[in-house]
Amino acid sequence: MNLAATTPILIVAAAATLALGVGLVPGRAAERYGPTAVAIIGLVAAAVMSLVFWGDRIEAFEGSLHIDRFSMLLNLIFITAALAVIILSIREPGAVARRGEYASLILFSTAGMMLVGAAGDLIVLFVGIEILSVSLYVLAALEVWRERSLEAGLKYLIMGAIGSSILLYGFALLYGATGTTRLGEIADALNGSALGGEPLVLGAVVLMVAGLGFKASAAPFHMWTPDVYEGAPTPITAFMSTATKAAALAAFLRIFTAGLADIEADWDLIIGVVAAAAIIVGNVAALLQDNMKRLLAYSSVGQAGYLLIGVAAGSIQGAEATLYYLLVYLAMTLAAFAIVIIREREVIDGDTVQALAGYARRRPVHGAVLTLAMLSLAGFPPLSGFLGKFLLFGSAVEADMIWLAVIGALGSIVSLGYYLRVLGVAWLGDRRPSPAERGLESPPLAGLVTVTSGLAIVALTIAASPVLDACRSAAESLLAA
Amino acid sequence: MSGVPLIWYLLLSFGLFGLGLLGVMRRRNPLLMLLAVELMLNSANIALVGFARHWDNTDGQIFALVVMAVAAAEVVIGLGLVVAVFRQRLALNVDEMSSLKG
């Protein structure tokens, strides 16, 4: 069974249950800081355990879970995102009203993501995706007194459930074609068989790409993204756009790059087309947005497209590039959202682009971080965002998909239009009349998250080679049978 | 193996999945959309159980049982949200009425 190897997941799940209980303990201090403290301690412990298990693959529960470098690297991504979001949520209205549930649901969602990252079986993968989604449906709707939040939750639930059922049908067809739900055995069944190109397998591939496309918010399955990102509480939006996307990409890599490697000819073009569509739709639509959360939502659709390039390449090199870009994307997105969250507490309509007018001049440190995040998202050399995109495009060229690299490069040029507009407003803009103050305290440690994310963008640029080595060995562990 | 051939299970499952997808796209009422999603999930269950019979192993049946539990959880959240939206709208209307009374 090998229970010990699953400790990172178990710790997070246990902390989630504990946080729920601590939220019920009477007394001001316990109620106020208890769940947050439990969540932070649990996440740090899980991160330490993930580092401990950084090594050769351990199979737990007879191969249902793969404790390898790939899953441990993803654990660190999920945990970092959850930690940042918990810190950014201190004094968030939705979190204050339901502290226990809030922390607990974030942790449950994280545990679900960790299951996805470690999944060696379609059933585990499906359950993991559902645990993370169902927790997020509730989190998106947690500010029940705000109609937009409720609508976001309901919309996310319905679109998410459609995505899940399409994905499930794909899994059912894949099981029908191969006779097993174990990813390793599926790979064996496909190896050297004549199953490639069979209608059953092709149907499974199309449905799985569509279902996971919903979860990764890649075009043309992205229509829910802007509304849900705008309506949900902003820290939850940050969590959805970083951790959920990483989980969906992990599922893509586990299923396609590892499980279906032998029938790559059946799926590389489909994923390539989805990636190209996401890059085009996301970057063009983002040009028209005036709301920061909507802008970042469309930007995340485009970024999902870049990330999928590494999956479409279907190689170790592609998986390595995707993993590295996931790390960079985490830092860039957290930096951008941290600033939106801070601004949102200060003024009414703080989530609009105009609310940032002149903000960078008044708060130069935050302005510098915002500049780093936006330039890196746009892929400005020499920042880590550029390096990540360069590796992704390189993997596409290597896989004879030059057209995909060209679309990606053109998309990056278009994206400069809106990323630079945000910077222009923040540094040069003037807002008259000055916005109505909202006067809420910003989260106490939000500055820390902002600066850390900014430093992480720089660190991923300067110390790129050890990080890339880690990504490389994680990608190799994915393909090691 | 005797009995109903696999293809009939699959045809039934395809049909239900198509109906569910159509329902989700055509309906605008959240309750009916949830219902249609349930239809899609259960069509996958029929396919899973049919394939489990075909391959003569239990993976598909276990999968179907897990899916039932997951579907139940999803519906609970969905109905909860629908009720919350309904209440919110109701409250808004009541507010409007009282403000009109001045």
Whole-number pLDDT of residue A380: 87
| pLDDT at residue B78 tops 50 | yes
| pLDDT at residue A244 tops 90 | yes
Q: What is the pLDDT of residues A31-63, one digit of tens each?
A: 778 888 999 999 999 999 999 988 888 888 888
- As a whole number of angstroms, the distance between CA A465 and CA A76 comes to 18
Is some CB atom of chain B closer than 8 A to the CB atom of A97? no
Contact A162 B37 (CB under 8 A): yes
Report the mean per-residue pLDDT for chain B.
85
Express as a percent the part of chain A with pLDDT over 70.
98
Whole-number pLDDT of residue A57: 84
A148 to chain B: closest CA residue: B85
User: If you average pLDDT over residues A439-446, what whole number do you get?
Assistant: 75
| pLDDT at residue A280 tops 90 | yes
B91 to chain A: closest CA residue: A145
Whole-number pLDDT of residue A89: 87
- Cβ under 8 Å to B: A residues 170-189: 171-173, 175-176, 179-181
Which residues, in sequence order, are bridge partners of residue A82?
none
User: If you average pLDDT over residues A182-202, what whole number do you get?
Assistant: 86
For A240, the token pair is 């959805």
The pTM for the full model equals 0.93
Report the mean per-residue pLDDT for chain A.
90
Whole-number pLDDT of residue B91: 58
| pLDDT at residue A239 tops 90 | yes
pLDDT-derived band at A305, boundaries 50, 70, 90: very high
Lowest mean pLDDT among A67-76, A92-101, A298-307, A449-458: A92-101
Amino acid identity at A190: L
Whole-number pLDDT of residue A335: 93
Q: For residue A40, what are the CA distances in angstroms to A8, A128, A335?
A: 14, 22, 19
Q: Which of B30, B60, B89 sits opposite A175 (nearest CB)?
A: B60
| pLDDT at residue A87 tops 70 | yes
pLDDT-derived band at A1, boundaries 50, 70, 90: low
B6 to chain A: closest CA residue: A176
User: If you average pLDDT over residues B18-41, what whole number do you get?
Assistant: 90
Contact A161 B34 (CB under 8 A): yes
- Which distant-in-sequence residues (6+ apart) come within 8 Å of A143 by Cβ? A93, A94, A97, A149, A150, A233
User: If you average pLDDT over residues A143-170, what whole number do you get?
Assistant: 90
Whole-number pLDDT of residue B99: 43
Domains and CATH numbers, chain B: 6-101 (1.10.287.3510)
- As a whole number of angstroms, the distance between CA B85 and CA B62 comes to 35
pLDDT-derived band at A300, boundaries 50, 70, 90: very high
Is some CB atom of chain B closer than 8 A to the CB atom of A164? yes
User: If you average pLDDT over residues A350-366, what whole number do you get?
Assistant: 86
| pLDDT at residue A435 tops 70 | no
| pLDDT at residue A390 tops 50 | yes
| pLDDT at residue B89 tops 80 | no
Contact B30 A169 (CB under 8 A): no
Residue B10: its chain A contacts at CB < 8 A?
Answer: 176
Residue B1: its chain A contacts at CB < 8 A?
Answer: none
For A368, the token pair is 């510098």
Residue A124: its chain B contacts at CB < 8 A?
Answer: none
Whole-number pLDDT of residue B102: 40
User: What are the boundaries of each domain within chain A?
Assistant: 3-479
| pLDDT at residue B93 tops 80 | no
User: If you average pLDDT over residues B78-89, what whole number do you get?
Assistant: 85
Contact B51 A175 (CB under 8 A): yes
Q: Which of B34, B51, B82 sits opposite A176 (nearest CB)?
A: B51
Contact A169 B78 (CB under 8 A): no
pLDDT-derived band at B101, boundaries 50, 70, 90: very low
User: If you average pLDDT over residues A14-25, what whole number do you get?
Assistant: 89
Q: What is the pLDDT of residues A330-346, one digit of tens each?
A: 999 999 999 998 888 88
B41: distance to nearest CA of chain A, Å? 5
Contact B66 A123 (CB under 8 A): yes
User: If you average pLDDT over residues A199-207, what whole number do you get?
Assistant: 92
